[in-house]
A and B are shown apart, each in its own frame.
Chain A
Amino acid sequence: MTVVPAQQSGGGGGSSGLYDVVELILDRGLVIDAFVRVSLVGIEILKVDVRVVVASVDTYLRFAEACNRLDLESGPKKDPGLPDLVGEITESGAKGKSKGALSGAAETISDAFKQSREEGQRQTEERPRARRSTTSRRKEEKE
């Protein structure tokens, strides 16, 4: 039994869907040379606040901080939304293939996006923003 993802943007096409597909609308699709295209000058492709790892001193420090805050013993077990990753070092460098699922990332991303817009689209931050886990969101939905 499969549920078609909730983050569908077919039919109604919610606005949150637009942010995630806007680059397709602007950069893909049929182009006909007999037609002119509207100038896209001045358009700001809205950047979603998702981290991408770039080599820079800022990133190094950010990751060092994140590692310092990492609970090496209980690690991901504290977050029921995450499965147990390999806690003990194994010689084979295990791939950490374990059971568990992270879903609802779409909402997380739109949430992060909305937040980043509200914050005036700050491009950089001192520290990674903690994302709400799926579990906590589920709880909220139940309440």
Chain B
Amino acid sequence: MKGLIVERAGPLALIQDGGRFGVRHLGVTQGGAADWVSLGWANWLLGNAPQAPGVEITVGGLTLYAEASTTLALTGADLGATLDNEPLAPGSCFTIAAGQRLAFESPRTGLRAYLAFPGGLDAAPVLGSVASTVRESLGGLDGQGRVLTEGDCLTWAGGTSGGERTLPSGAGTLPGDGERMTLALVGGAQIADFSGASVFEAFNTPWQVDQRADRMGVRLSGPELRYLGEGMVSEGIPLGAVQVPADGQPIVLLNDRQTIGGYPRLGALTPLACARLAQCQPGTEVWLTPVSAGQARDAHLRQLAGWG
């Protein structure tokens, strides 16, 4: 079947869906789109289910050559995308004709762009998901979790169509001009065992996104947080867990995190906040803001309802 051919692979383009669930007790990580909100909107534009498989393009460097014409949707980061050298802004559907090239260069705003396909990208699920988890060799085009490489052919299910949908204002995960990047955190886990000053500083001091950031976790640098509790026995780690190693600099654990771990934690960023964090380039200033589990749930359900 004809599709889109990968001509230039770039550093990290991965097939992702909503993630792999129900298997974490076997040591298998969750995976899935790091900015699941942007993947959801890309799918919504085409009339797909929010978690239908698409491509997560981190940083850029990817070129796709179309063997067949189709309609695609692009959301998330602005990676300097072009269609036959014509600039293509993220946030809409577009038509690619056979013989045209879709290229992604480097980040202007954000870090990860999402490309959705009519009816979702074709790939055989492994353990219930096509999410590519490179470290675990699961998912992706060949089931072995590998990144997209030159010569790969992307094909799609076809069929569904969102018609002429356009994104509502305020959709997406990138802050507007002059807006702070705030990350909602549901406090819990070992938060009571941090010094009072540390808990205050965690929510009242800006943090910088560190260079050490990937799909497993994002390190934040800022005030040194002091844990006063005792050594811990390893326990299960939810998405967004804010763990604090001995150096006092937190690491937010994302989709490809290990399933259990033994560092003390303040709680967990909400999934919506994780999607925002996944778009932050190193050096970005972020603020943690406490929310209750109920507030977080309300915001989450509103997001899902927007795709209903």
Q: Do A and B come from one complex?
A: no
